Amino acid sequence: MRIAILSRNPKLYSTRRLKEAGIEMGHEVDVVDTMHCYMDITSNNPSVRYKGRTLPKYDAIIPRIGASVSFYGTSVVRQFEMMGTYSINESVAISRSRDKLRSLQLLSRKGIGMPRTGFANHPDRIDDLIKNVGGAPVVIKLLEGTQGIGVVLAETAKTAEAIIEAFMGLGANILIQEYIKEAGGADIRCLVVGDKVIAAMKRQAAPGEFRSNLHRGGSASIVKLTPDERKTAVAAANTMGLNMAGVDILRSKNGPVVMEVNSSPGLEGIETATGKNIAGMIIEHIVKNAHLTTKTRGKG
């Protein structure tokens, strides 16, 4: 197979591991910088050009689209889809998961556990907004934040009101969420591929920190999931329409609750914590499903 990894940096761990795994399994793998792609949008012969040449026909692509380039990145993915190329995550699913508010609304509609969450443009009663998610302490999140950036824990209602007013004064879109105290500063990252959790790790926040992101000094360790946690992670990924996803869940007194569904999960932390060849599992999934898709297209 000929596979393209859409990534801005070939030296990133996840990009490098996916390329290595693909080559080890006998496939031809290219790393293509998404932002250097440009598109020939025609009705008869759509194509993607890259650094002055038309890219070859790929059997499959692996989008590694950063949040800061979601709009253009998903446009490139969509162009490949128009050309009949299999994408492990389709453009519409990536866009859906990147919209934090929309993704939470979809999870809620499907009855998937999540923290009580509030959203408002400019509430007349900020105190009621806080009260409606269970009162302080509350977690306040920028909709555009990533890797724990723009996430604040407000210990008291007065602090929460001040932070909300400040964010709204800057025109920022924010979510207000229930603080799951019993999680103890830990969350679980589930790596879902297809309809299965292929790996999971527990991320523990650093001392004095409530955000468990590894980029913020959190530590990772292997964890045993309950059947309910596995079911929740797979359901969350399926709700977004993602064939590969990192699903972050918290262990609450009411069962597992989903915090986020990531369409481009990093592999370094979870491969290190679990010792599993996750990149190889992802390539295996692509090979199986790209061939099925190709056969279906041929019959059509």
The alpha helices in 170-267, defined as continuous H runs, are 227-240
Query: Which residue type does 199 have?
Result: A
| pLDDT for position 67 | 80
Structure letter (DSSP) for residue 7: -
Q: Where are the domains of the chain?
A: 2-89, 117-179, 182-263
Whether the pLDDT of residue 296 is over 50: the answer is: no
Residues 29-86 pLDDT 10s: 999 999 999 998 876 788 999 989 999 999 999 999 988 788 999 999 999 999 999 9
CATH topology of domain 117-179: Dna Ligase; domain 1 (3.30.1490)
Residues 171-220 pLDDT 10s: 888 889 999 988 888 899 999 999 999 999 998 876 655 565 555 556 78
Residues 260-295 pLDDT 10s: 999 999 999 999 999 999 999 999 999 999 976 544
Rounded CA-CA distance 130/138 in Å is 7
CATH topology of domain 182-263: D-amino Acid Aminotransferase; Chain A, domain 1 (3.30.470)
Six-digit token pair at 252?
């609450």
| Helix-then-strand count for the chain, H and E | 9, 16
Whether the pLDDT of residue 131 is over 50: the answer is: yes
| pLDDT for position 300 | 31
| pLDDT for position 146 | 60
Q: How many CA atoms lie within 13 A of 106 on its CB side?
A: 19
Domain 2-89 coded CATH 3.30.1240.10 = no
Residues 220-256 pLDDT 10s: 889 999 999 999 999 999 999 999 999 999 999 999 9
Give φ, ψ of 255 to 5 degrees.
Answer: 105, -175
